[in-house]
Every structure is written in C-alpha cells, then in structure tokens.
Structure 1
Amino acid sequence: MKDPPRPLAATQRRSAFGVVIVAAAYAAATGLAQLEALVPAWRFDSPVQFNANFAVAVGFAWATFQLWVHAADRVERRRWCAALLVMTLLATIQASDWLVDTSVIRNDWLDVLLWLAATRLLYGIVRHPRERPWARSAWHLGLVFQAAFIVFDLANGPLFKSIVAGGEAVASISEWTELLAIESYVMALVLRTVGPPAPTAASFGLAVGSRARWLFDAARLFRKASYPPVRAAFYPGVRAVLIVITSLWLALTVGRRLHGAKIASGWVQLRDLLVLGLRDGFDPLSYYYQELYRATGPAEAGFYLTRHETKNGLLYALNRMRSQPYAASEMADKLLFADCCKRAGIAVPAILLCGGARGIEWRAPHQMLDRDLCVKPRHGRGARGVTVYQRIAPQRFRDAAGAEIDLEQLIRRLEERGRRKAWILQPRLFNHAAIADLASSSLVAVRVITCLDEAGEPVTTHGVLRILGRLEPTWPFDDELGAPIDLATGRLGDLASDRLDRCAERWSHHPVTGRAVAGRVLAGWPAVRQLAEAAHRLFDHRTLIGWDVALTPEGPLLLEGNNSLDVMFPQRVYRQGFGRGPLGPLLQHHLDLLGRLRGLE
C-alpha cells in the first residue's frame, strides 16, 4: 500500500485560504486608500507605491525567516537563498521607480529585464512536482499581472505616448499591475510553506505519528476543541501563529534550563520547534515532553502521537469504526461500566450506593457502609471529584478536611451532592503489600493499553505504574509519576514525572519515600494484563483503550476504561514513540482501515 503525501493537507488548505483572503483584503485596502489619496498611483509617495514596497519587505522577512528555519537542509537553503534574490530584484525595481520619479535617472528600461529574472528564479523555486499547487497558481497569477505591467509600462514610454491617450491613467494602471504582481509573487513564497501538498499517490514512507496527523487533517476528523479547549485556535492560520508563539515561549522557559553534551542549543531547539510545528503539525509541547531536544530526537518525531490529533477527534474516530452495541458513554459512566463488567464476570470494585437528582439507590446492606469509603462522580474519568471518608469508629468517619461525621450525616451529604451531580459510593481500596511503600494514602494504579489486532483480538502494548502525587497531601509536589512495565516480565523501569519542567529527570528510587522502583518486579502483572485483555474482549467495539487497574490485597480490580486515553505520558515513560513499540503496527493497520472508510485510500 502506498502512503499518503505529507501531513496537514486539510489544515494547510485552510491556511492557504487564509493567506489568499489576507492578500485580497490587502489589495482592497490599498484601493480604498488610493481613492482617498491626493496623489496619483504612479507617484512614489502614493498608497499603491507604499504598499508595493511593504509587500517586498514582507517577502524579504518571510524568505529570511524560512532560510533560518531550514538552515540544516541544503536543498531548502538554496531555494530560500534564491527567494531572497527574487526579493532583492523586486526591491531594485521599486528603487528604480523612485529614482525616476525624483528625476535622478531618466528611465527605468532595465525593469523589464529585472522582472524576467525574478520570474524565472521564482519559477525555479515553485516548479518541483511535489511543491504545493497553490504556490504555483500564485506564481501563474503573478505572471499574468507582470505581463500586464510590462504592456502598460511600455505603453507609457516615449515610443507609444504619441499613439496612446491618457498617459497618467496608463501610468497608474501600470503601477497597480506591478503591485498585484509583487503581491502574487510574495503570496507564492508564503503558500510554498503553508499551502496544501500536491495530491500525489507517491509513497513518502510516513511513520505512524505523521500518518495519524495527516489522516486527522485529510479526513477532517476534528470533532471538538479539547486541546486546546478553544475553538478559535483551530481557525485557518491561527494554529500556525500559536505554534510560533508557543515555540518561542517554550524555548525561552524550558529550553534555556536544559544543559548537556547531547542537548541541542537554544537556537537549534527553536528551529526544530518551528520546523516540526509549521511543516509537520507536531505539537511543540511534545518536543520537550518527549525529550526530542536530544541529539537524535527530531528524527523520531514522526513516531510519536500527540494530543492535537488524538484528543481533538482521531481517537473518537478510531474507536467508532465498529458497530456500537453499548451506550456511547459506557466508558464515562462508572455505574454503567461497572454493571457491564460485573455481568461478564470481570472483577471491579463493588458499588454500595449510587445517587443523583432522583435520590439514593441502595445496592448493599446497611452494615457494608461501616468501613473506609470513597465517593466518585458517576460521570467522568480519573481522580477528579473523588472524596475519601476514613472510618474512625463504628459508623463514624473523618472527611478530607478533618471533620468528624456519623453515617446519618454522610447520607445527608450524599443526598445534597446528588442534587448537583450524580455519584457512586464504593469501598475504599488499598494497595497490595508489594507496592504499598510507593504511596502514603493514595491508590497506585496500573495503566494498561490494549489494542485490537487484525483478527479483532486485544493485545497489550504498554503498561505504566501510576502514582498520583496530587492525592498525597503531605508530599512536596503534586506530580503524576509513572514507571514503564516490561510486558514479558513485569519489571519496572525508572520513574518519570508528568511535569514539563522536570522533563529531563528520571528516578530509580521514589523521590519521596526513597524506595527502589527500577528493577522491582510487579507482583500480579500477568493477572493485571489478563484482566485488561478480558475487559477489551467485552468492549471489543472499541479499537484502542487505556485501562486503569488497582493491585489490591484481594487481587487486581478494574477501575475504569478510557477510550480517549492520554497518549503523551505512556510515550514519555517508555521514552519511545508508539510507532517504535508494539502498538505501531497495530495502529498502522487501523489508520489504513480508517483511511479507506473515509475514502482516502
């Protein structure tokens, strides 16, 4: 099967529309300014002449910026040097106009030769078959305006003045066509970078991350603004601006604190951020989060998935390729999820009570509540909104604020909470003795990622031991810590933090308790893996799922499934993109299938 062209076709198409709209608005604004001006368009101090000069300055700035961005690419460096030469020729043409208007020189007959040279150089930049067709179209448009300019410029010369009436009008039209030609050529240079690629079927060998980003844009899989949660960030051209701003901020804040023999310099980091972001659509945050600032890092970017494509629609599309027998919210509704698992014989924590606007439903005898308890929001994922009540005496509890209440008061609190948001009440779970020394009061969970293979059978591809610092009130930080799990042996690797400012740090021992982590074999790992795969067989209408499993003294219990899992942390913990691990071939298969379903293969 042949791979698609470079990623971001759809986004770049929208960006190209944005460039064309801005150029058209610029020309229209020039026209309005010229209508209000007291000088004709052919004068060097007219709005037409001023905006032509400004367009040349924009072209200079863009070519210089691209030359710096592509400094490491010999071919691209030569092309952008040629672009700078084109802008120099156009600037010379504009200067000759000023010299003629101020009577320093008598005529500008060399302009025709300079225009022809600039046109030929620009054609050499945009003519490559893989260049973006929008750039070539802009060049063709500029060629039309340039031909018109030459005709009108010659008509305004001394040879034709005797046979052509309205010399001043012809001179003004000549300057107008010159402005539009310059603007079209500058637009061609911009569209060469931001325009959509040519629709060729040639194989470019995209890695799984690059392919995922291409498919997200080409198939228009955007569903909702989740990362970032602002719809305006996905308007044409806005994301490119955000990438530049974010790259500058990250290079100045995170990049400047990184030091080491194999770490790129600050300028190289900024260049990498801009190249990966503007050219490949790679999330700038992932550059530091996945440690791509190291020597071979940028070459690995294509193997990483980012939150941009996964959170905003790709995972939603992947997990809905099969028919959906359950309600769409079976992963987000803890009560529905637990009931489905319980009927299938999959071990999950018991639900003692559940409540909402309609009141409380008792699911266990009264005496089952005389223990440590945990209240969770019924809808949602993760540890947000979780409240723990510690049993301190028969039917008496201490809440998170340290206040003591009895069972009757607790029930009233739950009734009040249910009027605002649905909840479930479960027994508080405790860690297995083998991992109890890695947390003080929180539950240590194991994140297991499973993906269906071509036969529809779930395969475990990643395992991460997760420790949530934000649930530990006595710890000096609220990081989430994670250690990779060897899939065959259950052996743990070094701990990593989810904090960006600690992206370069790893710990072989727990940074708070001091207990050894790396090299420890996770007790019960085979059972954890089997539990996750059994759960995926139950929910086999989903393609890729992240499971949270608790290792308790009674054995592993399935906490929840996440079909919109975070792809950043597992790749960070493993120090490896999904495309380099066992998930890569499975994900390629499903991306191919999704592409065919969307008519892109």
Structure 2
Amino acid sequence: MFSLATAVMAFILLLSPLRSSDFVIDPLNALVATVMGLTLYRRLQVSTSHVVLRAAAFIWLSVLVVTLVLEWLPVHRAELRDVFSLKESAEVFLWLLAPIGLFIVSRFERVPALVKLLLICGFLVQTVVVGLEFIEESPHLGVSPDGAETFSDFAQFVFLQFYLIAFALLLLYAGWSPISRHAESDVHSGPLGNRARHIFDAYRLFTKGRFPKQRVAHWPGVLPIIDFGRIVLWTGTLGMEVQRNFGVPIFRQIIDILLLMMHCGLDAQAYYMLELYRRDRQRKAGQYLTRYETKNGLLTALNYLIPKNGHRSNLSDKAAFDRVCVEHGLEVPRILAVAQHGEIAWRNLRRLTEVPGLFVKPAVSKGARGTEIYTVVRNTTGTGSAQYMSPDGTLLSELELSTRIAGQSMEEMLLVQERLENAPSVAPFAQASLVVIRVITCLDAQGRPTVTHGMLRVLSKLEAGWPSAAEYGAPVDLATGELGWLSSDKREDAFDFFDHHPVTGARVAGALLPEWAAVKALALRAHDVFNDRFVIGWDIAVTPEGPVLIEGNAYPDFAFLQRVHRQPAGESPIGPLLQSGLDRLVAVRGG
C-alpha cells in the first residue's frame, strides 16, 4: 500500500506542470517518517531490556515527529526551519536518523536479509541526495542548478522507495498477522519448517538448485518474481472456489499468502495444496517443510553430519545402487541388459523369454524421467519368438527392440530390468504401471533408521490411457497398513480427496496392505546398508513374490508427502528426528 501510494504520487509528479516543486517529494518524506514512526512504535510495544536501544528508539521517535511536522504542516514550515537553521532540515534529519534506524533494525532477531539490503541501498542513495543539497549550486560541477535539482529529486524518490518497501515488509514481518505467534523461531528453536528455513538462510546451505529445476529460477531476483507469479496463477485459478466453499474472500487469500511468504516462506502453491486457507491449518504453517530448503541444501548438510565410511553412497546411480543391493541381499528387480554408446549387452536372454515385460530407465536419474514399459506379447500357437509392445503401441521383435534401446543409449546409459507385476492387494490401483509404496526412513540420535511415513504412489505418466499425468498418493497407517484418502499433486485436483480411485474405481480409503510389515522391514534393512544418509525416501513395489526395492531418493518430496498425509512434517513422526538433526547441525556450525 505504501509503495502504491508513492507510485501514484510519482505519476502525479510526472504529469503535473508544478513537478519542479516539492509538493510531491515533501509528502513522500512525511510518509517515510510515518512508516518509520509506526515501525518504531511497534518495536517499543514489543519492548527491549537494552537501555541504550530503548533510549535510541525514543530519541529516534521524537525526531521523526519533528520531521513529520516539518513536511506535513506547510503553514508552520518556514518558522520551524528558521528555528532549526537548516535549509532542507527534514531531508537532513532523515539522513541523520538512517544510521540509528539501521542500528536498531539490525537488532531485530528475525529481520529478512532483503529488508536490511533495501535499507542500506536507501541510505547510500540518500547520502548522495544530501550531498547534492549542499553543492547543487556550486559552479565547479559544470551542471545547471535545474539539472542538479532534477537529478536530486529523482534520487530522493529512489531512496524513499527503498525505505518504504523495506519498512512495509518489516511491519508485516514484525507481527501484524494472525499467525505471527506461530512463526517465532531462530536457528535454535521454533516450529520445524521455520527453524529449518532460518538455518538454511543463516548458514548459507544452498548447494545445488534442485528446486525449482530451471537454472534461471536461481538467478538473483528471479524467485520473488516466480512467487508473485504463482499468486496470480493459483489465486486466479482457485481463489473463487475457496471463497465459495470456505468463505475466504480473494483479497483475504492474497493477504494470507503474502503473510505466509513473509513469516514462513510458503508460497501460493503451498497455500492451496496444503489447505492453508483453513484457519486451523494456517496456525500450523511454521511446521511445514518446503522443497526449496530440503532439496537445495538442508538435507545435504544433515547428511554431512554422518560419517561416510570411506565414501558417500550415490542413490541416483541405478547401476551402482543395484550392485550394492545385490551384495547385501536386498530384493531388487533383475537387470537383463545394459545399453551405452549405441550398444546393448544382454546379461540373461533366457530370462528375457520368461518375464511379463521390460522396464527401461536411465542409469542415472531420479523419479520416472525417461522410463519406458515394454509388454511381452507371446505367440499363442507356441511357434516363433515373443514380440514386445512399445509404449507407442508398436510391436517389435527382439532384434528391433535391441536396436531401438541401443539407439536411445547414445544420449545416456540405460538399464533394462524385468517388469514386475503388482500383488493382488495393490493391483486394482493401476492398469499398466507398477504401484509402489514410498517409505520415509530417518536416522535417530543413535544412528538407527526409523520409519516415519508410508504412502502409496501411482504415477499416471506411466499409464498411457489415463486422462491426467497426475501423481496419486494415499497415506499408509504406520501400525496397521490401512490406506487413507487418495489425493493428487495437480492444481486441478487441489480440493479433491478420493475414497475410490478416480480412474480404476477401486476403493482406496480403508483398504489394507497385508504386506506392510514386510515393506517396512525392507526399508529399514536398506537404510542400514545406505546408512550415510540422514533421510531417504524408498520406493518399494509389492509383488506376488513379496516386496522389491525399486530405488532410494536422498531428497524426498516433502510437499506432496505433507499434502497426502494432511499433516505438517513438524507434527509427524519425523518432526522430533529432524529437530534433533538440526540441533546437531547448529552445534557443528557454531550455534
């Protein structure tokens, strides 16, 4: 609102024939003084036991009142300026107050770095303006007085914008919101999500831009643009439905999102997908983790607290992962062939004639990127070799299949695995794809893995005939293996939770996984092997022969996990374990 007000004033200044006067700049100075005064008043309400700080705050507030009078009461301006014997007293007062303001603001424990940067930039530009006030008529500059005054007014407008935006953000951050009492945290304490983000920022833990995946998103200044773009996109798409079904006006939704961005680092997507328009959920906002801090460096920092035992396991290298699993007796899909640089090497052609299909995937990847499913079509007469149905519906001979996979391996190394079949307990939830159970395990303080979450996963992108490319997930009760309501990761399904599968029609909520105990046991055995990772998300298939380990993810997606369970990570079983890990991280980093 403050920034909008100054923008309107600037527009009036450009159009007005009186723009050479101070009739716009002076009210802007008054507006800045007002905002500073409100911020300082808020700080005094919070109170501080530091005597010097409190005295400086009172002095600053007193001088701000004088500055406000100088700029906003033109009737008495001349007399007051005579008293203070300064030609441009208000501007000089603001400049003298700036260092005091920066000092006091720097004592706030949770001031965003952006606010501090804006205040410093504003002070530097303001110093230039004050200097010009004293030398703008000097003949040695070689600049006309009108030109110097024009430049001074422009620079003054710039630093006022810096101050207005910074203090407006600071006022929001200081606690004028219904969730402020839940957002209090620092590196030592606080709700899990807020504390994790404070630690991520304070210790500069950013290592790699895994989320968002686009490299440009991590350029300076781009992420705020993306966040505000999400407000437009998500509110424009879902705002009316939230207003209609939950009674939250669109304007209030936008305010909520802005406050969540300031207090908790949650964006518009999180607001709608995590149901934060519900007041009971919003009060827990500080407990939610986001992909940004977990994928971009926080989990990496937690991993480095654990001894490597000579090397750091690479869960993304599927070939190496398969080799380690086989060495330790973990059940994994058998690799039938490896293709690289245009050549394919079959390991077991006899097995090829027995499997129901083939699953081809990149040797180094995450998730379902680049995967393909080939179905074996056997000759019913018993004569001739089997053929293979490709994802696009083409029938291939064994030679054609080998040629095709070999050609694809020119770009990256591929693994050809046997295609697993779903057990009867999970088969109704898919048609062509393999249903997996995502199991989250986390190390406790003694280094022992613990199962904290279970989630049934169905990837629509592997189902050619399905209308959506959504990922579906349903929570698994840790004690009983009972499934909860199914939900999707797509915006169009943001308000939908299904008791029956939306495509197959199978009942999900209330269904039992009889293999759940064996699935948990396999996840714990796997984490015992890959015990140099703090948190791992395991994808485990449930086959007629029992659970089979598909892959491990060192950077699991907490956003979708929290949506599926309708519970923030901080209030889930992983919450205390992550808090303990953050305690150790703070201790190692020097507190």
Answer yes or no: is 1:386 the counterpart of 2:361: no
User: How much has 1:515 moved relative to structure 2?
Assistant: 1.7
* Residue type of the alignment partner of 1:391: V
**Residue 373 of structure 1 corresponds to which residue in structure 2?**
358
The separation in 1 between residues aligned to 2:346 and 2:91, in whole angstroms, is: 85
2:508 to 514, 517, 523: 517
- The structural deviation recorded for 1:232 is 4.6
Query: Is the CA contact (8 Å cut-off) linking 1:322 and 1:542 kept in structure 2?
Result: yes
2:53 corresponds to: none
Matched, 1:109 2:93: no
Q: Map of 1:44-193 to 2, 5 A cutoff?
A: 45-46=19-20, 52=25, 56=29, 93=71, 96=74, 108-110=78-80, 115=90, 130=108, 132=111, 134=116, 187-192=162-167
**Structure 2: which amino acid aligns with 1:191?**
A
* Correspondence for 1:447: 438
List gaps (5 residues or longer) in structure 1: 1-18, 20-42, 68-73, 97-104, 157-167
- Matching of residue 556 in structure 1 with residue 547 in structure 2: yes
Cα distance, 1:274 vs. partner?
0.8
Q: Which amino acid aligns with 2:376?
A: R
Offset from partner CA, 1:175-207 (integer Å, 9 cap, x none): 999987886666444334557999x99898421
Q: Match of 1:573?
A: 564
**RMSD of the TM alignment (CA)?**
4.6
Q: Select between 306-315 and 113-122 the one with higher mean Cα deviation.
A: 113-122
Distance 1:95 1:242 in 2: 42
TM-score by length of 1: 0.74
CA distance in 1, matches of 2:191, 2:514: 35
Equivalent pair of 1:90/1:118 in contact (CA under 8 Å): no
The 5-angstrom pairing of residues 220-299 of structure 1 reads: 220-259=204-243, 262-299=246-283
- 1: distance between equivalents of 2:108 and 2:282? 23
Distance across 2 between alignment mates of 1:404 and 1:443? 21
Q: Secondary structure at the match of 1:512?
A: coil
Q: In 2, are the aligned partners of 1:450 and 1:533 still within 8 Å (CA)?
A: yes
Deviates most, 347-356 or 527-536? 347-356
- Residue segments in structure 2 that go unaligned for 5+ positions in a row: 4-16, 40-44, 47-56, 138-142, 175-183, 379-384
CA contact (8 A) 1:283 1:306 kept: no
Alpha carbons 1:55, 1:186 under 8 Å: kept: no
| CA distance in 2: counterparts of 1:406 and 1:144, whole angstroms | 77
The 2-side partners of 1:434 and 1:231 are apart by 41
Question: In the superposition, relative to structure 1, how do residues 171 and 527 fare at CA in structure 2: closer, same or farther (>3 Å)?
Answer: same
Is 1:531 aligned with 2:522? yes
Tell me the secondary structure at the aligned position of residue 472 of structure 2: strand
Match of 1:296, SS state, is helix
Give the partner amino acid of 1:108. A
2:466 to 468, 475, 480: 475
d(CA) in 2 for partners of 1:567 and 1:201?
Answer: 20
Select the structure with the greater relative contact order (CA < 8 A; seq sep ≥ 6).
1
Shift of 1:358: 7.4
Matching residue's letter, 1:296? D
Equivalent pairs: percent with the same residue?
A: 35
CA distance in 2, matches of 1:336, 1:493: 35
Which residue identity lines up with residue 313 of structure 1 in the other structure?
A: G
Amino acid across the alignment from 1:539: F
Q: 1:413 aligns with which of 381, 404, 417?
A: 404
CA contact (8 A) 2:102 2:119 kept: no
Alignment CA distance shift 1:461-1:87 (3 Å): farther
2:286 maps to: 302
Alignment correspondent of 1:431: 422
Bigger Cα displacement from structure 2, 508-517 vs 388-397: 388-397
Determine the C-alpha separation between the residues in 2 that align with 1:490 and 1:396: 38
**Deviations 1:195-220 (Å, cap 9, x if unpaired)?**
7999x998984211001111111111
Give the deviation of 1:304 after TM superposition: 0.6
SS state at 1:489 partner: coil
* 1:540 maps to 2:531: yes
Is contact 2:460-2:472 (8 Å) kept? Answer: yes
1:67-108 deviation digits (Å, cap 9, x = unpaired): 9xxxxxx99xxx9xx99xx79976973894xxxxxxxx8973
Q: What is the CA–CA distance in structure 1 between the aligned matches of 2:147 and 2:414, rounded to whole Å?
A: 74
Q: How much has 1:136 moved relative to structure 2?
A: 8.2
Q: Do the aligned partners of 1:263 and 1:294 also contact (CA within 8 Å) in 2?
A: no
Choose 413-422 or 516-525, whichever is displaced more: 413-422
User: How many angstroms apart in 1 are the aligned matches of 2:415 and 2:214?
Assistant: 31
> Residue 258 of structure 1: SS of its match in structure 2?
helix
Question: Is the contact made by 1:468 and 1:481 (CA closer than 8 Å) also made in structure 2?
Answer: yes
Paired residues of 2:361 and 2:414 also in contact (CA < 8 A): yes
